[in-house]
Amino acid sequence: MKHTMRKINRLVSDKNELIEIMGRCDVCRIGFFDGEFPYIVPMNFGFDYSDGLTLYFHCAPEGRKLDIIRENNKVCFEMDCSHQLKTGELACQYSMNYECIIGEGEIFIVEDKEEKINGLHLLMKQYGRTADLHYDDKVLSRTVVLKINATDFTGKKLNK
């Protein structure tokens, strides 16, 4: 069941503004289904928003994330930035300015070497490095690149 945003005036739907928000975020949290309890992991990321939203991550070749993905690759994700506390005379007048992206999709292990390198390029771009990007084959073979194909996501912001 899809939900409608309760405070629609906070909705961000413009593609350029969504890209700008993602560009300001430095961590993406992924929520996995892990049996009885969810498992949330903060990760560095890169993204491509040319043909739908695709998020890229990197990790070690073994571990809990990969075990969960092999069982259930449906995930949710969240990233946020531009935090600024807004104070008031009374406790209930406190608020927080923010921008965020929240969504869901399916996560995959990238097997294709060219897509793996592209995903790593996008990660490096997110953190300010776009030139002179080379990856040692030995390191590349030990690095897992993950991608989320977002099936649904929304942007939201508050700036009082």
Question: Contacts for 30-33 with beta carbons within 8 Å, 24 or more apart?
Answer: 30/57, 30/65, 30/75, 30/76, 30/77, 30/107, 30/148, 31/75, 31/76, 31/77, 31/78, 32/65, 32/68, 32/69, 32/72, 32/75, 33/68, 33/72, 33/74, 33/75
At 122-158, the pLDDT tens digits run 999 999 988 888 898 998 999 999 999 999 999 999 9
At 54-101, the pLDDT tens digits run 999 999 999 999 999 999 999 999 999 999 999 999 988 899 999 999
**Single pTM value for the model:** 0.92
Are 115 and 66 in contact by the 8 Å Cβ rule? The answer is no
CATH of domain 8-158: 2.30.110.10
